Amino acid sequence: SVYVDYASTTPFDKEIMEKVMAGADVFGNPSSIHRIGKDAKAKLQDHRTRIAESINAKPKEIIITSGATEANNLAIKGTAGRHEKPHMITTDIEHASVRTTYQNLSEQYDVTFLKASEDGLIDVEDLKDSLQSNTVLVSIMLVNNETGSIQPVYEIAKVLKDHQALFHIDAVQAFGHMEVDVEALRADMLTLSGHKIYGPKGIGMLYLREGTKLSAQITGGSHELSRRAGTENTMWVEALALAMEKADSDRARRSLKEMQLKERFLNELTAKEIPFEVNGDVNRQASHIVNLHFPWSEAEFLLTALDMTGIYVSAGSACNAGTVQPSHVIQAMYDDEERALKSIRFSFSHLMEEEDVLEIVSQLKAIYERLYGN
């Protein structure tokens, strides 16, 4: 069987799991003032330092959360809630954790949703035109989770440089595949998730630039600099630190392998004469993701047929709980519901081999021939 859905989640690295388990006897509550607590606090501080180093931040700029969904909610609601009549800008291709949060806020506040074009990208000129004197926050993802499109975040940061608006970047699908440096990106806030980088599920973080004001969404004790209350999940913080370090140091090798697999996949589809089109601009996409339009079949049918042959892939975001809905990203790009219903996202990993890619194509070819003969 072949799992080719690494953008939805990755397996937890066994080496990291074992290392974390081996340290489980440092069990104290980092807030306790006795020795057992202090030992845990020192370890936690060490993990936080390493997490910060992986994105060129300071340890006190890292807020640990239960994942990127919570981190995105904190960034957006924690900023909106501080202003009387805020205007905020995002895009119509964001992950549900950003999009739904803004959709809900738009009932009360002024929110602009920038449109992506057929190349999958946001136009920086549109952003310039949308900025207002009361714009307090701009949320734009670095890599789109459905198409892999790399948004022009460096140009956007330049535009925002002389504006008060905070720049919030969802970098969940970028980290480990390209450089994520909060200084180079000029991010005020940036979110990451553990389970997309071979760490555990249920852990993530928000980078918050020193001096940036943000209202806590989970209140209680003074954990995470009073931005996120609750006893720290020290073992999973260690796992996140280890996963980030490993993804960072192995980045060149991993992304090269992903690119080779993707290229081989597309070449093989062409060689086997299976009709397809790449959604978006294939030259402006992350190494591990490609989204294909198969005009000859509904995605739902293809996914089920592939599942029966042991090929595990999705139509797009896994967040719509097991249902195949037309992808809002493909629809936003092409304004074409049929195309959105006939598109599939393949997401690769350095753990895959060339034979895996050949197996996917061979199964696709068999399905195509069953439908249309040869």
Residue from 90, 149, 193, 347 that binds ligand PMP (CB under 6 A)?
193
For ligand PMP, the closer of residues 71 and 303 by Cβ is 71
State the minimum distance, in angstroms, from the CB of residue 97 to ligand PMP: 5
Helix or strand holding residue 78 (H, E): helix 68-80
Give residues 211-230 in contact with ligand PMP (rule: CB under 6 A): none
- If one asks whether residue 41 binds ligand PMP (CB under 6 A), the answer comes out as no
State the minimum distance, in angstroms, from the CB of residue 137 to ligand PMP: 16
**CB 57 within 8 Å of CB 211:** no
Catalytic residue list contains 319: yes
For ligand PMP, the closer of residues 121 and 269 by Cβ is 121
**CB 221 within 8 Å of CB 229:** yes
Distance CA 194, CA 157 (A): 25
The pair of three-digit structure tokens given for residue 113, joined into one six-digit string? 């949703």
Of the candidates 36, 225, 319, 371, the residue annotated as catalytic is: 319
- If one asks whether residue 5 binds ligand PMP (CB under 6 A), the answer comes out as no
Give residues 49-68 in contact with ligand PMP (rule: CB under 6 A): 67-68
- If one asks whether residue 172 binds ligand PMP (CB under 6 A), the answer comes out as yes
For ligand PMP, the closer of residues 32 and 100 by Cβ is 100
Distance CA 213, CA 204 (A): 20
Angle (deg, nearest 10), helices 96-105 and 68-80: 30
Angle (deg, nearest 10), helices 234-249 and 35-54: 30
Cα-based angle 346, 171, 284 (whole degrees, multiple of 5) = 55
For ligand PMP, the closer of residues 170 and 268 by Cβ is 170
Distance CA 289, CA 4 (A): 10
For ligand PMP, the closer of residues 297 and 349 by Cβ is 349
Give residues 321-340 in contact with ligand PMP (rule: CB under 6 A): none
Sequence-ordered list of residues with C-beta below 8 angstroms from that of 67, at least 6 positions apart, any chain: 193, 194, 195, 201, 202, 203, 204
Give per-residue burial for 39-62: e unless 16+ CB within 10 Å, then b. Answer: bbbebbeebbebbbebbebeeebb
Distance CA 131, CA 129 (A): 6
State the minimum distance, in angstroms, from the CB of residue 356 to ligand PMP: 22
- If one asks whether residue 97 binds ligand PMP (CB under 6 A), the answer comes out as yes
For ligand PMP, the closer of residues 240 and 261 by Cβ is 240
For ligand PMP, the closer of residues 101 and 297 by Cβ is 101
Give first-to-last CA distance, the chain, whole Å: 25
Residue from 5, 6, 63, 69 that binds ligand PMP (CB under 6 A)?
69
Residue nearest to ligand PMP (CB): 67
**CB 114 within 8 Å of CB 89:** yes
Q: State how far Cα 172 lies from the chain centre.
A: 3
Helix or strand holding residue 358 (H, E): helix 354-372
Residue from 204, 280, 316, 326 that binds ligand PMP (CB under 6 A)?
204
For ligand PMP, the closer of residues 258 and 268 by Cβ is 258
Other Cβ atoms closer than 10 A to 268: 18
The pair of three-digit structure tokens given for residue 304, joined into one six-digit string? 């089920």
Binding mask 139-158 for ligand PMP (x = CB under 6 A): --x---x-------------
Residue from 5, 170, 188, 238 that binds ligand PMP (CB under 6 A)?
170
How many binding residues for ligand PMP (CB under 6 A)?
13
State the minimum distance, in angstroms, from the CB of residue 7 to ligand PMP: 6
- If one asks whether residue 120 binds ligand PMP (CB under 6 A), the answer comes out as no
Residue from 50, 95, 177, 345 that binds ligand PMP (CB under 6 A)?
95
State the minimum distance, in angstroms, from the CB of residue 72 to ligand PMP: 6
Residues found near ligand PMP in the complex (CB under 6 A): 67-69, 95, 97, 141, 145, 170, 172-173, 193, 204, 319
Q: Which residues are catalytic?
A: 319
